[in-house]
Amino acid sequence: MSGHSLPVVPSSGFKFTKEHLVVAVPVAVVAAAGGFLVSHYLRAGSCKKGQVNTSISKDSPKVVHSFDMEDIGTKAVYCRCWKSKKFPYCDGSHAKHNEETGDNTGPLIIKKRDA
């Protein structure tokens, strides 16, 4: 061996035993599961904020509107951003929505073909 010696490290007196492992592993598993559940809950909460429809017929599993062509008249403008106070009709709310989010949504316009 060479003339180099390993530094002496004072012992703290703590020894990791099998009993410590029996306690540490379940605690680590519970902590990891708890962290996962909390992060999952926080992500789920943030997804709600990202929903397109934040207020229209939230008690319904699906919002569906149906119109007869004869009842439309010459032109109808329908909301596609879900922000209109006159939903399902467009009130121009998409302009503010687009400005705030960088989106590019606009209305659905249905009109009779010019003769």
- Separation CA 61–CA 23 (nearest Å): 46
Q: Which is nearest to 109 in space by CA: 84, 86, 90?
A: 90
Q: What is the pTM of this model?
A: 0.52
pLDDT at 85: 94
pLDDT for res 99: 93
Give yes or no for residue 30 having a pLDDT over 90: no
Active-site residue flag, 96: no
**Secondary structure (3-state) at 76:** strand
Which of 15, 49, 58, 62 is the catalytic position? 62
Whole-number Cα distances in Å, 16 to 19, 21, 88: 8, 8, 67
Residue 59 pLDDT grade (very low, low, confident, very high; cuts 50, 70, 90): very high
pLDDT digits (tens, 9 = 90+) for 60-112: 999 998 988 888 888 999 999 999 999 999 999 999 989 998 989 999 999 88
